[in-house]
Amino acid sequence: MAACIGVAFALSGVPARADVRIQYDPGGHLGAYSARLEQIRRSGERVIIDGPCMSACTLVLGMLPRGRVCATRNAVFGFHAAWYTDGSTRTPSSKATRFMLSHYPSQVRSWIAKRGGLTPRMLLMRGNELDAVVAPCEGVS
């Protein structure tokens, strides 16, 4: 039945919206994440965080409207300072770390600051702390 509805929307010229579900995302290159999140923002899709969302994945908190991101009980956000890799060497990037911080909502920046800021050590946000930042997903199975 859902496939038929999707076909009807496509044929009528109205784009069908789908949810983007994140069940495990270890992060990656900031530029690639920024571009993907901009696509999602323009599409109107909702993002469901249903597991670990680490590193660059956390940009979802600031690059999408708050009402378009929700979290299940399985959600965990992991924050750390950014770096770049030259072969086998990780080099901290203060510029990329500032970029990430500038995209987080003030509530997230405050939470990070209270824990010593972004460093190579992973800071995990879950449970009640996460509930204060991201709306719970309603009617998601």
Domain boundaries, the chain: 20-132
Question: Alpha helices of the chain — where are they, by DSSP H?
Answer: 2-12, 30-43, 60-63, 94-103, 106-114, 127-131
Sheet with 76-79: list strands edge to edge: 52-54, 76-79, 123-125
Phi, psi of 21 (to 5 degrees): -105, 125
Question: pTM score, two decimals?
Answer: 0.83
Task: Write out pLDDT tens, residues 73-120.
Answer: 999 999 999 998 887 888 889 999 999 999 999 999 999 999 999 999
Task: Write out pLDDT tens, residues 25-49.
Answer: 999 999 999 999 999 999 999 999 9
Mean pLDDT of the chain: 87
